[in-house]
Amino acid sequence: MIQFITDIGSMLGSWLHAGFWLVAIFGVLAIVGAIVKKKSDEDSKIRDLEGLKTLSKKTCVVRSVSHDRRGGTRAQNGKPIAVVRFDGDVMATERSNLALLVNEIIFNKDRISKLIVVVTSPGGAVPHYGHAFAELERVRKAGIELDVCVDTVAASGGYLMSLPANKIIAAPFAYVGSIGVVAQVLNYHDLLKRIGVNPLLFTAGQFKRTVTSTGEVTDEGKAHFQGQLDRIHHAFGALVAKYRTGVDIERVTTGEHWSAQESVELGLNLVDEIATSSEYLFSANGNRDLITLSIKKDPKSKLLSLMSAGIDMVIDKVAARLSSNGVTN
């Protein structure tokens, strides 16, 4: 009986200890939230950042002063160079942020000398990277000089979005090219039929669905699907021909990729200069200020991350204490 009362007391002590930590954590989060909200409110009033007139309070601007005027009072030599980074995944999820930053660049075209975009992407969905391409094409159409830097890969959709650049700079072993289109579908129609499942597909329109995972695939459907891929491939090649003058379209649109150094040695004209982005930006920063633009992270997501980490810590402490009292699952 005495041991039971002792165990109960120990458990209550553990829970009170955990409760104290919960109250402390949520108190700290409340204070952090108030600070973040105040900072957000202040940011919303700021529209002139580092010499740029920003359209959105989400835009973050950081200036890197040119090397030749650091430590002195020498005036800037010409307008600054804007820098944007794009890290692409299969669905090009950063394209919306890219669109916002392109708006800022075009709005400030009289305040900058050019834009450098550092692209990293193996490619992905056609419409998504088509959107990214269209956003960078807006920069070109606005009369702003555009350079693209590639450190590791700008292939397929990643290369597509880089095409509007006046100049493409790539590290020696960065992959470029892969100018092609691919689609793969696992079809289970025959397997389902064998086990007694009859997949039914209802469409209105002869080619509404041609190749699916469960429907029957006809020769006519496969031919139509292949035709769609061929048309996309042709459009991709046409853009390469438009922006990369002197390129041999038949040679570079085979779907192959090359290292940047190899593409130069073979005379493919897929890149204009061999250099890493750090090297190129360092050189550009010699006599021009660099203005790096990015999108601020949502303060709410930061708070959620803090809350999650705090709760995990409390759970770990409670579990450890209960385990030490002999209470286990």
Judge contact between 13 and 327, C-beta under 8 A.
no
> How many Å separate Cα 14 from the centre of its chain?
44
Distances 146 to 123, 124, 290 between C-alpha atoms, Å: 20, 23, 14
Judge contact between 51 and 81, C-beta under 8 A.
no
* Residue among 66, 121, 156, 162 flagged as catalytic: 156
Q: Which residues pair with 114 in a beta bridge?
A: 81, 145
* HSE-CB for 237 with a 13 A CA cutoff: 16
The two tokens of residue 206 are 């002869």
Judge contact between 176 and 258, C-beta under 8 A.
yes
152 phi and psi, to 5 degrees? -125, -50
Is residue 208 annotated as part of the catalytic site, yes or no? yes
| DSSP calls for 133-198 | HHHHHHHHHTT-EEEEEEEEEEETHHHHHHTT-SEEEE-TT-EEE-----------HHHHHHTT--
Residues in contact with 269: Cβ distance below 8 Å, sequence separation at least 6, in sequence order: 244, 245, 246, 247, 248, 263
Q: Whose CA is closest to 136, among 151, 154, 153?
A: 154
Is residue 297 annotated as part of the catalytic site, yes or no? no
Residues marked active site are found at: 156, 208
